[in-house]
Amino acid sequence: MRSILALTTALLLSSSAFAQQLGWTNIRGYGFAADGQLVQFQQLIIDTDSGKVLARGDAIKYDFPDANWQDGEGKAILPGLIDGHGHILGLGQNLMQVELRGTQSELEAVERVAEFAARHPEQQWIQGRGWNQVLWDNNEFPSTALLDEAVSDRPVWLSRIDGHAGWANSKALELAGITKDTLDPPGGRILRDEQGNPTGVLLNNARQYISAVLPEPNETEVIQALEAAFSELLSLGITSVHDAGIDSGLARLYQRLRTENALPLRIYAMLSARNSDLQDWLDQGMIDDELDLLLIRAVKLYGDGALGSRGAALLADYSDQAEHRGLLVTEPDRLTAQMQATIEAGFQANVHAIGDRANRMVLDRFEQLATKEQLAQGRHRMEHAQIVSPQDIPRFKALHVLPSMQAVHATSDMNMAGDRLGVARLRGAYAWRTFVDQGSPIVGGSDFPVELANPFHGLHASVTRQDQQNQPVGGWLPEQRLTLTEALRSFTRDAAYGAFQEERLGSLAPGMWADFIVLEQDPFAMEPERLWQLEVLQTWLAGNKVFHRE
């Protein structure tokens, strides 16, 4: 149990006899002031005993003559990056499964599955994630046929890139008891052929048929996955994650790892509303931490599905599927009760809502269930807020609801969003500029492992509205672009605000935790089209170096 991460964190938290003041000169430093304005500095000094920033500026070296100063060689230093919506365990498990992101056809995806299965004869189930039929040559959902040819002796279960659909082989369908006669569950759908037979694709709540028969990972496997995720995140400069929708078992494990000083980064955990013992957690009250390594004071609730699988709940029909308006994955009255219990317990309610119908439904409930004081203090959030009716966007500001948005979703979805929504509804889609201009702080993130965890992909998408091939020329819906300062703030100070931590994290200001990253290149002095290529040289947490790129 005492892994290298535990030893690293124990070192990080200790009051070492060798603690000292560390300073850097000749740097291109960036942070934020209390009002959110960008602050630039050439010198930075931290205290490794307290783990806090002592000072930043251009001529502070003479105020700390006994510090250990070093030449930063012109490298850039930014606040540690915060991913405002990710899934840590899912990322770790994904790193140990079949990677289907980037496949260009169903056949290519199946070939990857076959290769993985051949390399891992010990695995009872073959699992993977990342396929996206919108990017395939035929633009159609897959079926069991090719999967069965590749792997027939073991069940196969492959999550779509958005996590709202899954693709199974016949063995998996058999184990789950899914036949022609199986009914669609509320909030879910089993795709079928012309004869009514399951094709192997399950949407939203229908995935629970497979979940019910998937073997549960043991604690050793869970810890291995977490450690893989922690290492990946620190290498990307991510020092804090808002873990969106954890079950009770993972919440208890996080508590134990924190007690054992085995959390190497900061976790702002959202309890899943699907936990059967959610009320017990609410009654227990918020779980705080003086070192800000583990904070549990939020609940992740579930409104609708995702746009790519036509599960996002829309006010009008999908433009490319008549008489279909998506799915509500939580029955409205149940969602109301969950939101009410969360708000009354003083917890933050963070509701997954992608489609305009889901966003309006959740805004209506915030307005009905919470007092003005509860709304002002609660910092409740809409997770994703991708397609919002233009008339509903001002309600976010009026109700103090924060848009928690993932920039890479826009550049991933741009090839199909127009088909799903039509031109008119795009006016309220992925509307970052509109939200920022009205004064709504955006909690930036990636939604890993739905997308890659690399935060520089999100900064690039925010600023250019382009993919990594610089397409489309001029950007997709370019009027919604952010400046680099605004984009960086969404991944630092504004994300910290979304976790009630803006006075301690995200700005690299004196008195705050010394969480920062070192980059070879200055993102403010390079072409925006190259932002996604940035690499982290060092990651520091509370004044201790926790990652160094060789």
pLDDT in tens, 42-71: 999 999 999 999 999 999 999 999 999 999
Whether the per-residue pLDDT at 259 is higher than 50: the answer is yes
The whole-angstrom separation of Cα 475 and Cα 540 is 34
Burial class of residue 315 in the structure, from the number of CB atoms within 10 Å of its CB (0-12 exposed, 13-18 middle, 19+ buried) = middle
Whether the per-residue pLDDT at 294 is higher than 70: the answer is yes
Tens of pLDDT along 389-398? Answer: 999 999 999 9
Please answer whether residues 24 and 70 qualify as being in contact, where contact means their C-beta atoms are separated by less than 8 angstroms. yes
Strand partners, 383: 352, 404
How far the first Cα of the chain sits from its last, in Å, is 27
Q: Residue 162: pLDDT band by 50, 70, 90 thresholds? A: confident
Q: Residue 11: pLDDT band by 50, 70, 90 thresholds? A: very low
pLDDT at 86: 98
Instruction: Indicate the range of 130-139, 196-205, 341-350, 356-365 predicted with least confidence.
Output: 130-139
Average pLDDT of the chain to the nearest whole number: 95
Whether the per-residue pLDDT at 420 is higher than 80: the answer is yes
**Residue of higher predicted confidence among 438 and 1:** 438
Q: Residue 1: pLDDT band by 50, 70, 90 thresholds? A: very low
Q: How far is CA 508 from CA 35, 108, 156, 491, 534, in A?
A: 13, 45, 46, 13, 20
pLDDT at 19: 52
> 126-131 and 156-160: which strand pairing?
parallel
Sheet strand arrangement including 156-160:
98-99, 126-131, 156-160, 165-168, 198-204, 188-192
Q: What is the mean pLDDT of residues 81-110?
A: 95
The whole-angstrom separation of Cα 463 and Cα 518 is 21
Residue 377: count of CB within 10 angstroms of its CB: 14
How many degrees, rounded to 5, is the angle at CA 126 between CA 123 and CA 131?
Answer: 155
The whole-angstrom separation of Cα 504 and Cα 512 is 5
Q: What is the mean pLDDT of residues 316-336?
A: 96
Greatest Cα pair distance, the chain, in angstroms, is 81
Q: What is the dihedral of CA 519, 525, 530, 535, to 10 degrees?
A: 0
Tell me the percentage of the chain whose pLDDT exceeds 70.
97
pLDDT at 6: 45
Please answer whether residues 160 and 100 qualify as being in contact, where contact means their C-beta atoms are separated by less than 8 angstroms. no
Q: Residue 550: pLDDT band by 50, 70, 90 thresholds? A: confident
Whether the per-residue pLDDT at 7 is higher than 90: the answer is no
Q: What is the mean pLDDT of residues 153-175?
A: 95
Burial class of residue 192 in the structure, from the number of CB atoms within 10 Å of its CB (0-12 exposed, 13-18 middle, 19+ buried) = middle
DSSP class per residue in 66-96: TSEEEE-TT-EEEEPEEEEEE-HHHHHHHTT
Whether the per-residue pLDDT at 242 is higher than 90: the answer is yes
Q: How far is CA 135 from CA 132, 138, 308, 355, 467, in A?
A: 6, 8, 11, 21, 14
pTM over 0.85: yes
